[in-house]
Amino acid sequence: FNKAQQDVLLPAVENRLVTLIAATTENPSFSVISPLLSRSLVLTLRPLTDDDLNTLVDRALADPRGLRERYQLDTPARQAMLSMAGGDARRVLTYLEEAARSADAKGTTVIDLETVEQSVDRAAVRYDADGDQHYDVTSAFIKSVRGSDVDAALHWLARMIEAGEDPRFIARRLVILASEDIGMAAPAVLQTCVAAAQAVQLIGMPEARLNLAQATIAAATAPKSNAVIKAIDAAIADVRAGRIGDVPPHLRDAHYSSAGEYGHGVGYRYAHDYPHGVAAQQYLPDELVGTRYYEPTQHGNEAQIAERLVLIRGLLAPEA
């Protein structure tokens, strides 16, 4: 139903003349009009767990209507099928059926990892979403992007996608990385990664693999800098250590009529009235005057920022 057709349904649903039961692979927040959505109970169907899939596999192996206890499925083969199924019952049963046919062709009753790989026509992904492999592959992905090896980054991205990793998790890691490892050296990468995260929510998999790949390529090939995380962590460390001080009087809120009586806002210099848009005055608390948190690198856009920062800091502290 398009949105115009949904509008037609609304009065009938509201008056309980129609009981609407619908299913969609899209995000209902985007595909269903708000008035109809607010009158609906939305249930999210989630992937089956490995325990659920194991129960189905065991049942299929033993059931007279299934494989009738004619095959033995070894543990690596079972784990491969569960991993590739991604919580989809139909998929894991299809893999099992095809693997049984491959075993028949070999004249054996044992379904091993090689048989599974051949039967589904792709290598089993050795990846455990809850175990060490999850963290190892994620770590390899992040470090490959940080290290600017775009090909390695795409490999690890593909491993995560094929293993059924939540694409929202991948997108979140890219958004974090865009500020932590790239920052102001290429600030547009953050916009690209945020857009990819939004696209994941909007269109879902498998199409969102393109958005994740684009963000990965943008991040891996961008100039790198960790100046942002170093700057904010240094500032937070000072705050946690109690180095806070009072707000300088001229920076305090002066929007109310009696503010001047307390010296609030008195002597404040409006930056736009000064050359380069920089007004020389104290901005930090007394205890922190002269402290520098942000130290740009010479990578990418930060090289230009570094030049301007020399000018800015010179104007802010001409006596230095």
For residue 296, the domain's CATH number is: 1.10.3710
Residues 151 and 205 grouped into a single domain: yes
pLDDT in tens, 269-278: 999 999 899 9
Residue 320: the pLDDT is 43
Q: Does the residue 310 lie in any domain?
A: yes
Quote the domain boundaries for residue 56: 50-120
Residues 141 and 209 grouped into a single domain: yes
Taking 90 as the threshold, does the pLDDT of residue 232 lie above it? yes
Q: Does the residue 195 lie in any domain?
A: yes
Q: What would the mean pLDDT of 122-135 be, rounded to a whole number?
A: 58
Burial of 185 (0-12, 13-18, 19+ CB in 10 A): buried
From CA 14, how far away is CA 58, in angstroms rounded?
46
DSSP per-residue string spanning the chain: --HHHHHHHHHHHHTTS-------SS-HHHHS-HHHHHTS---PPPPPPHHHHHHHHHHHHH-TTTTTT--EE-HHHHHHHHHHHTT-HHHHHHHHHHHHHHHHHHT-SEE-HHHHHHHHTSPPP---TTSHHHHHHHHHHHHHHHTT-HHHHHHHHHHHHHTT--HHHHHHHHHHHIIIIIGGGSTHHHHHHHHHHHHHHHH-TTTHHHHHHHHHHHHHHS----HHHHHHHHHHHHHHTT---PPPGGGS---STTGGGGTTTTT---GGGSGGG---S--S-GGGTT-------SSTTHHHHHHHHHHHHHHH-TT-
From CA 48, how far away is CA 41, in angstroms rounded?
21
Nearest of 166, 182, 244 to residue 218 by alpha carbon: 182
Taking 60 as the threshold, does the pLDDT of residue 128 lie above it? no
Q: Does the residue 125 lie in any domain?
A: no
Residue 1: the pLDDT is 74
Residue 135: the pLDDT is 80
From CA 5, how far away is CA 7, in angstroms rounded?
5
Q: What would the mean pLDDT of 116-145 be, rounded to a whole number?
A: 74
Residue 131: the pLDDT is 56
From CA 60, how far away is CA 44, in angstroms rounded?
27
Residues 116 and 163 grouped into a single domain: no
Q: What would the mean pLDDT of 26-50 be, rounded to a whole number?
A: 86
From CA 6, how far away is CA 9, in angstroms rounded?
5
Q: Does the residue 233 lie in any domain?
A: no
Q: Does the residue 127 lie in any domain?
A: no
Q: Does the residue 25 lie in any domain?
A: yes
Number of separate domains in the chain: 4
In DSSP terms, 72 is beta-bridged to 110
Residue 100: the pLDDT is 94
Q: Which residue has the higher pLDDT, 4 or 199?
A: 199
Cis peptide, bond prior to residue 28, ω within 30 of zero: no
Q: Does the residue 151 lie in any domain?
A: yes
Structure tokens, 15? 């008056």
For residue 102, the domain's CATH number is: 1.10.8.60
- At residue 196 the predicted structure's pLDDT band, cuts being 50, 70 and 90, is very high
- At residue 130 the predicted structure's pLDDT band, cuts being 50, 70 and 90, is low
Residue 129: the pLDDT is 56
Q: What would the mean pLDDT of 220-228 be, rounded to a whole number?
A: 98
Q: Which residue has the higher pLDDT, 54 or 317?
A: 54
- At residue 229 the predicted structure's pLDDT band, cuts being 50, 70 and 90, is very high
Q: Does the residue 45 lie in any domain?
A: no
User: At which residue do the structure tokens 């005057």 appear?
Assistant: 289
Residues 29 and 62 grouped into a single domain: no
**Residues above pLDDT 70, as percent of the chain:** 95
**How many C-beta atoms lie closer than 10 Å to residue 86's C-beta?**
19
From CA 193, how far away is CA 213, in angstroms rounded?
10
Residues 18 and 64 grouped into a single domain: no
Residue 163: the pLDDT is 81
Average per-residue pLDDT for the chain: 90
Q: Which residue has the higher pLDDT, 306 or 25?
A: 306
Given 120, 149, 167, which residue is the final one in a domain?
A: 120
pLDDT in tens, 47-94: 899 999 999 999 999 999 999 999 999 999 999 899 888 788 988 999
Residue type at 156 in one-letter notation: W
Taking 80 as the threshold, does the pLDDT of residue 258 lie above it? no
Q: Which residue has the higher pLDDT, 62 or 45?
A: 62
Range from 16-25, 115-124, 300-309 that averages highest in pLDDT: 300-309
Is the Cβ–Cβ distance between 161 and 212 less than 8 Å?
A: yes
Residue 123: the pLDDT is 45
Given 74, 98, 120, which residue is the final one in a domain?
A: 120
